[in-house]
Amino acid sequence: MFDLVIETLHSLVSTGKSYLFLLPIYAGLLLGERIAHAVLKPREVWDNREAAANIVITVAVLGLNFLVGHVLPLAVFAIIFEGLSLCSLGHGYGGWLSAFVLYDLAWYVDHRIAHRTGLFWAMHHVHHSSPVYNMTVASRGFLVDTTLLSRPTFYLLPFLGLSPMHFMVISIATNIWGIAQHTRLVGKLPWLDWLLATPSNHRVHHGVEAKYLDRNYGETLMIWDQLLGTYQREDEEPMYGVTEPIDTHNPLRIQIAGIQGLIRKMSLASSARDKVRCLFRPPEWRPAVTPH
């Protein structure tokens, strides 16, 4: 049975159709959260316009995945693994555990890069710009930010012995975990909040308060945040969104808001050097401005 599941996953991912596995799970989680919200919080308004915008973006991302999907990035991943890997982790228990730990660390590093460099934040901005927090936000992403495009650290994994099979199985499992984090219906979970990327921890990650900014990058584990000083517990529920709200439900405007902000900042820079620095410095960094 396990071999059949793995074979099916391999077939779906290799043809760029892993969403066929994730989509029914995602739809079930969304429907379950919506029903639970109506039952548990009947007086709290559900933002249907924001949810609709997020779902439109999700459909667009799925359409792009249908065309290009994981095929090209995973082909590069496979080429590195077959020809340049320093070792092979194998598919025993130890190999899978090692692969998971390395994958989770790579996610942490790339997620932190996405927040702390101007170019990558311009893409990741889409995911954070929603002022609401529910599971529809989980798939609210930049259209060309698919698979490994904005995750440079992931390309180190095949050098370290992660096979494409490791990558696709772990990525699907952690994607499901990541979707489930995006909810306000699950409160704090005592010691689990210290160890895992729970809904409470990820609510912090989406908060705009100063103490919550750039915290809790982990997708599955909080150990990297604990070790590297980016962990923050949820003291009170955050306000959600970005520090400069975009105030729109238009999917196209949501998509381009981060890029527009980066272009605007680069256009104001007084030197070519500062224009380039806008791409790599943190998003809050401001260049010297050309006088008018």
- Check if the beta carbon of residue 242 is closer than 8 Å to that of residue 129: yes
Whether 127 is in a domain gets the answer yes
Task: Supply 162's token pair.
Answer: 């992660």
pTM comes to: 0.89
Per the domain annotation, does 149 fall within a domain?
Answer: yes
Query: What is the domain extent for residue 19?
Result: 2-182
Of the candidate ranges 41-45, 109-113, 128-132, 275-279, the one whose mean pLDDT is the lowest: 41-45
Number of domains composing the chain: 1
Q: How many CA atoms lie within 13 A of 23 on its CB side?
A: 13
Q: Pick from 10, 169, 197, 12: which is nearest to 103 by CA? A: 169
Of the pLDDT bands very low, low, confident and very high (cuts 50, 70, 90), residue 73 is confident
Residue 2 has pLDDT above 60, yes or no: no
- % the chain with pLDDT above 70: 87
Residue 223 covered by a domain:
no
Residue 241 inside a domain? The answer is no
278 belongs to a structural domain: no
Residue 212 lies in a domain: no
Percent of the chain beyond pLDDT 90? 63
pLDDT tens per residue, range 82-107: 999 998 898 899 999 999 999 999 99
Mean pLDDT score, 64-74: 65
**With 80 as the cut, is the pLDDT of residue 146 above it?**
no
- Residue 189 falls within a domain, yes or no? no
Round to whole Å and give the CA distance between 202 and 215.
Answer: 9
Q: Token digits for 102?
A: 């390395």
**238 touches 212 (CB < 8 A):** yes
In a domain, 217, yes or no: no
